[in-house]
Amino acid sequence: MKFFIDTASLAQIKEAQDLGILDGVTTNPSLMAKEGITGTDRVMKHYVDICNIVSGDVSAEVIATDFDGMVREGENLAALHPNITVKLPMTREGVKAIKHFSGKGIKTNCTLVFSAGQALLAAKAGATYVSPFVGRLDDISTDGMQLIEQIRTIYDNYGFSTQILAASIRHPMHIIQCAEIGADVATCPLSAITALFEHPLTTIGLEKFLADHKKAAQQPAAAK
Ligand code: E4P
């Protein structure tokens, strides 16, 4: 399973990249706004900055909601860097734009997916990635992971090549469950990724190894 980081923060992207396990980045207009990145020129430069940190795919979301606007914006985004993936909303116009871009060999990510039917439409249009929002479904008392399972079954039934990019991941258990089900990608906040490192027995075990090593090193040579 690929690990993407779900942020527009260059510091967090660098930190995840330094861990050696990062495969890509997803952003959205809210994440860009959170970093204070506004205005077309700054937004475009920010995407290039992200692409210069990570070697994998970087999702850049269009703001337009009409087909012509999405195509215009998406083409400008795709021209920035070969790793840019044009992120388009799950709407009629968005699906038409996905079909347009897939015909041109431009990578796409269909975002705001909350049902299996929507995921089926995205795959039929030739989306590179489909983004089901697990956490936001959990938030309304609906099992987000069940949707990942449903989409996995449907895509496997027909051999769709669209990759399931589990989004709106909130905690490390979401990542584990995605891996068990067979999601192709999980896009996560840095905190959920780093939480995977933690286990109390690892901490205790390492402390004991180091203490034993120090004790042995302090003993006289004959007693060893
Ligand atoms: C990713 O592509 C989505 O934009 C993101 O995961 C949404 O996450 P949220 O529900 O935490 O805002």
pLDDT in tens, 41-84: 999 999 999 999 999 999 999 999 999 999 999 999 999 999 99
What's the pLDDT at 224?
56
Which member of 14, 34, 87, 107 is catalytic? 87
What is the mean predicted confidence (pLDDT) over 22-37? 98
Torsion of the alpha carbons at 126, 7, 29 and 57, rounded to the nearest 10 = -30
For residue 166, pLDDT beyond 80: yes
Instruction: Name the one residue in this structure whose structure tokens are 């609906």.
Output: 142
Runs of H (alpha helix) within the chain = 10-19, 29-34, 40-53, 67-78, 92-103, 116-124, 134-139, 144-158, 172-181, 190-195, 200-218
Q: How confident is the model at residue 222 (pLDDT cuts 50, 70, 90)?
A: low
Tens of pLDDT, residue by residue over 111-156, are 999 999 999 999 999 999 999 999 999 999 999 999 999 999 999 9
Q: Residue 108 contacts by C-beta under 8 Å, 6 or more apart in sequence?
A: 74, 85, 86, 87, 88, 97, 98, 101, 102, 126, 127, 128, 129
* Average pLDDT value over all residues in the chain: 97
Instruction: Give percent of the chain above pLDDT 70.
Output: 98
What's the pLDDT at 220?
79
Instruction: Please state the pTM of the whole predicted model.
Output: 0.95
Cβ of 61 less than 6 Å from ligand 1: no
Distance 107 CA to ligand 1 centre (A): 19
Mutational pocket test of ligand 1: of 2, 6, 112, 138, the residue with most ligand atoms within 8 Å of the beta carbon: 6
CA neighbor of 6 nearest in space, from 119, 162, 175: 175
